[in-house]
């Protein structure tokens, strides 16, 4: 429902109605608790309005022959946002308050002040506070470039015409997905990345594979450089390395995210923060009793599924306080819905690197060499896994290729349940699925690990017969 009772102490006040906040509000309502949900913008947050939903809708529209791709995107986005908005306004146990929330030093109960759009200030009393204020794109000006040209994910989906030429600044998930979509829509696409490779927090082999795949599709890469200035009359981007990109219609700034910490009153409330955002544990708990933080604002996760997963744990922590707070959050895969897709799960590459090389092994399979890659004429794709040397316990898996975001699920389950490649070895994958790459990784592990058996045996075991032949 709309509005709250300023004299009543609620079970929780949830700041931000995005993926994390909705999980909290609906979850706590499920336990019979009334919550106050504070939102300054649109219900649904970034995911619904400027993130997952519009980007995936555009990726779909780009290949489904939609005559008005941006219209499709906005229709999908707005229909969902309207439904979510309506749901929150109608919910009997969720009290929706529009405005900007600010924590205070008052703790018993916690007091949150909300600056409403009409200038009034609401006081909300609650036993718990959950900060789900999200993140926003890192922004900076480019010399000579107008606001009409320079967009972020927050304004990109307002486009009406497919740009003739689009420049994507940054080589992360957003750029890779949008490079895919705009190429499929017919734009000339340039990626400008300051670092020496794309998707720099992932493995170098992931970077080089997705780079090759997108270049093959016609995306032009400008790596290790940046836009120095923009010449508006000729619409030319001048890069630091001397290159120029003429005829630029749109420039998307997608160089990273920063937590929306400003104005939240975190200091007043004594909530600890770091460069990443609000410091919170796997249950969403901050350093202050009864104050939780979930989702992008913590920097622990920048995904909807991450906010949802930790949000579900925070609901349990608040609604069932006697619940033992044991166990780590489950393995959370990352996925980029470029074509081909990218997915990874487990430790980060740097965490793997930090482990003793003697205790781990890396296996890699090129996906063009598996049979489905052969029938589909796949040119670029790879699956790789880092495992503990003898147990085959999975430290990290990463895939660049068709359906990577779905295939990764086998590794997610394996990590959750402590299943290593040793146990996955005899697994049978449907022929000729892309999942057969998992079987080949397990074969390679087995061949490498059990040298007591005749080495030729493993030569056979790696085959999936045809694959072995096709690789020659």
Interface of this chain with its own copies, residues 397 to 416, rule: CB under 8 A: 403, 405-410, 412-414, 416
The residue (of 273 and 334) whose beta carbon lies closer to its own copies is 334
Of 44 and 165, which CB lies nearer to its own copies in the complex structure?
44
User: Among residue numbers 67 through 106, which ones bind its own copies (CB under 8 A)?
Assistant: 76, 80, 83-84, 87
Task: Tell me: does residue 32 bind its own copies (CB under 8 A).
Answer: yes
Q: Look at strands 220-223 and 227-231 and give their pairing.
A: unpaired
CB within 8 Å of 54: residues ≥ 6 apart: 73, 74, 76, 77, 157
- Residue 141 vs 426, nearer CB to its own copies: 426
Kindly state the smallest distance separating residue 43's Cβ from its own copies, in Å: 10
Examine residue 438 and tell whether it contacts its own copies (CB under 8 A).
Answer: yes
Start-to-end Cα distance in the chain: 65
Instruction: Return all residues near 154 (Cβ < 8 A) that are at least 6 apart.
Output: 50, 136, 137
282 binds its own copies (CB under 8 A): no
50 binds its own copies (CB under 8 A): no
Interface with its own copies in residues 356-375 (CB under 8 A): 371-372, 374-375
The reply, when asked if residue 144 is annotated as ligand binding, is: no
Stretch that binds its own copies, among 137-145, 227-235, 291-299, 420-428 (CB under 8 A): 420-428
Q: How far apart are CA 188 and CA 444, in angstroms?
A: 41
- Cβ of residue 180: shortest distance to its own copies, in angstroms? 14
**Calpha distance 166→467 (Å, rounded):** 39
Please choose, out of 172-180, 222-230, 383-391, 458-466, the segment that lies near its own copies by the rule CB under 8 A. Answer: 458-466
Sign of the torsion formed by the C-alpha atoms of 198, 62, 408 and 347 = positive
Query: Which of 309, 317, 370, 382 is close enough to bind its own copies by CB under 8 A?
Result: 309
CB of 413 to its own copies, least distance (A): 5
27, 130 Cβ separation under 8 angstroms: no
In contact, 248 and 230? CB cutoff 8 Å: yes
With H, G, I as helix, E, B as strand and everything else as coil, classify residue 215: helix
Binding to its own copies (CB under 8 A) within 182-211 occurs at none
160 upstream amide cis, omega within 30 of 0? no
297 is in an annotated binding site: no
Nearest distance in Å: CB 201, its own copies: 16
Token reading at 251? 């420039």
Which of residues 306, 340, 349, 381 is near its own copies by CB under 8 A? 306
In angstroms, the CA 254 to CA 242 distance is 22
Tell me: is residue 296 an annotated ligand-binding position.
yes
CB 332, min distance to its own copies, A? 5
> Does the annotation list 373 as a binding residue?
no
255 Cβ contact partners less than 8 Å away, ≥ 6 residues apart: 137, 138, 169, 170, 172, 194
**Residues present in the chain in total:** 472
Is 256 assigned a ligand-binding role in the annotation? Answer: yes
Closest CA to 166 of 191, 143, 146: 191
Which among 2-10, 137-145, 328-336, 379-387 is the span making contact with its own copies, rule CB under 8 A? 328-336
Q: Tell whether residue 169 is a contact of its own copies (CB under 8 A).
A: no
Alpha helices, H only, 227-277: 266-269
Q: Which of these segments, 1-9, 181-189, 259-267, 304-312, binds its own copies (CB under 8 A)?
A: 304-312
Cβ neighbours for 201, distance < 8 A, ≥ 6 positions apart: 348, 349
Among 12, 14, 15, 48, binds its own copies (CB under 8 A): 48
- Region of 3-11, 15-23, 95-103, 178-186 interacting with its own copies (CB under 8 A): 15-23
Question: Cβ of residue 395: shortest distance to its own copies, in angstroms?
Answer: 18
Residues 143 and 301: beta-carbon distance below 8 Å: no
Determine, following the binding rule CB under 8 A, whether residue 427 of this chain makes contact with its own copies.
yes
The answer to whether 172 is annotated as binding is yes
Among 330, 360, 362, 389, binds its own copies (CB under 8 A): 330
Establish if 376 lies at the interface with its own copies (CB under 8 A): yes
Q: At closest approach, how far in Å is the CB of 5 from its own copies?
A: 22
344 annotated to a ligand binding site: no
DSSP state of 219: P
Element (H, E) at 444: helix 436-449
Helix (H, G, I), strand (E, B) or coil at 11: strand
Distance CA 387, CA 360 (A): 5
Binding residues for FAD: 56, 296
Q: Which residues are annotated as a binding site for NAD(+)?
A: 170-177, 193, 256
Binding residue positions = 56, 170-177, 193, 256, 296
């Amino acid at each position: 429902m709309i509005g709250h009772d300023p004299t009543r102490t609620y079970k929780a006040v949830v700041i931000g109605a995005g993926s994390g906040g909705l999980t909290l509000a609906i979850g706590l309502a499920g336990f019979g608790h009334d919550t106050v949900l504070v939102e300054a913008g649109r219900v649904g947050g970034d995911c619904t309005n400027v993130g997952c939903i519009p980007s995936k809708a555009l990726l779909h529209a780009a290949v489904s022959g939609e005559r008005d791709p941006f219209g499709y995107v906005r229709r999908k986005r707005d229909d969902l946002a309207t439904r979510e908005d309506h749901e929150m306004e109608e919910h009997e146990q969720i009290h929706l308050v529009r405005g900007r929330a600010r924590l205070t030093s008052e703790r018993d109960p916690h007091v949150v002040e909300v600056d409403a759009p009409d200038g009034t200030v609401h006081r909300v009393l609650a036993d718990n506070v959950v900060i789900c204020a999200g993140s926003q794109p890192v922004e900076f000006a480019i010399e000579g470039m107008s606001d009409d040209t320079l967009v972020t994910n927050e304004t990109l989906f307002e486009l009406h015409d497919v740009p003739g030429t689009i420049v994507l600044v940054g080589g992360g998930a957003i750029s890779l997905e949008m490079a895919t979509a705009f190429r499929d829509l017919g734009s000339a696409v340039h990626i400008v990345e300051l670092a020496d490779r794309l998707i720099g927090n992932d493995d170098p082999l992931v970077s080089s594979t997705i780079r090759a795949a997108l270049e093959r599709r016609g995306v032009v890469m400008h790596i290790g450089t940046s836009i120095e200035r923009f010449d508006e009359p000729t619409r030319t981007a001048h890069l630091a390395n001397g290159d120029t990109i003429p005829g630029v219609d749109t420039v998307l700034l997608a160089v990273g995210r920063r937590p929306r910490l400003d104005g939240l009153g975190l200091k007043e409330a004594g909530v600890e923060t770091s460069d990443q955002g609000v410091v919170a544990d796997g249950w969403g708990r901050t350093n202050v009793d009864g104050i939780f933080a979930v989702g992008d604002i913590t920097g622990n996760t920048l995904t909807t599924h991450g906010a949802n997963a930790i949000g579900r744990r925070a609901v349990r922590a608040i609604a069932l306080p006697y619940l033992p707070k044991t166990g780590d959050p489950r393995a959370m895969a990352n996925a980029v819905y470029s074509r081909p897709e990218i997915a990874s799960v487990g430790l980060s590459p740097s965490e793997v690197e930090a482990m003793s090389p003697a205790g781990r092994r890396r296996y890699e399979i090129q996906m063009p060499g598996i049979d489905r890659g052969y029938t589909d004429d796949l040119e670029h794709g790879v699956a790789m896994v880092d495992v503990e040397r003898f147990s085959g316990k999975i430290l990290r898996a990463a895939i660049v290729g068709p359906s990577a975001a779905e295939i990764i699920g086998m590794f997610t389950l394996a990590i959750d349940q402590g299943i290593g490649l040793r146990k996955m070895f005899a697994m049978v994958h449907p022929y000729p699925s892309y999942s057969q790459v998992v079987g080949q990784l397990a074969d390679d592990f087995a061949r490498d690990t059990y040298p007591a058996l005749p080495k030729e045996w493993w030569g056979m075991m790696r085959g999936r017969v045809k694959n072995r032949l096709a690789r020659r």
